[in-house]
Structure 1
Amino acid sequence: MPRFLYAIVISALVLWSLFFYLLFKVPPYSILTIGLFLLVTFLTFGVSSSLLLYKVKSKKLKANVDRRLFFRKLSKWSFYMSFGIVGFAFLKAFSLLTYLTITLFLLLYGALYLIIKNR
């Protein structure tokens, strides 16, 4: 395992422990705790799916590929997926699921896809 992944794995473990702490110990009575939970969920899913994608896709890498740059490219798509999941959870948590907000969120999600794809 490359050395740069050690810090990322440790941060993923810390994020998962914080995620479960917020899920089971902190009651969602205020907007602050709900927002903190959604932020931690976004980071947890993004980092964890980045590690999972790296593990799966790194088997096909050639020897002369920069693994750190490869991980960053995979992280873009992992956090994009995490944004979609947490975005819908945000709309649901604050009772904003209407046809208008879903349409606007999907337009934002599509625009973000085009921005990430062209980078």
Structure 2
Amino acid sequence: MNAATVDELHRLIHETLRCVAALEAIHGDTTAMRRVLNDARQIRNGVDRLEIDVADLCAHTAATALPVTVEMVQISDAGYAADFWRDVDHEGVGAQSLACVPAGSRRR
């Protein structure tokens, strides 16, 4: 969340509070209007806390950012010897059909 986003939130909540004040002028100081005003103020307080939390998060992230290192693993293009796969279980398509075949009669 950047400063422009937070500024937009502040602008919107200010506009909301202005609209609530206009409603209060129309409907008077009723219980319902007090609840609406209270809700709008809570939203404003939430936006203020959000701004503080974002600033803290940015400061914390900047302070704890570690350089990312990636270790590349070289994979050989050379083929594998057939013995490499000798004791490997069959997987993938058709593996279920081998489950019923006695171990001695399986093709290798």
TM-score by length of 1: 0.38
Larger radius of gyration: 2
TM-score by length of 2: 0.41
Structure with greater helix percent:
1
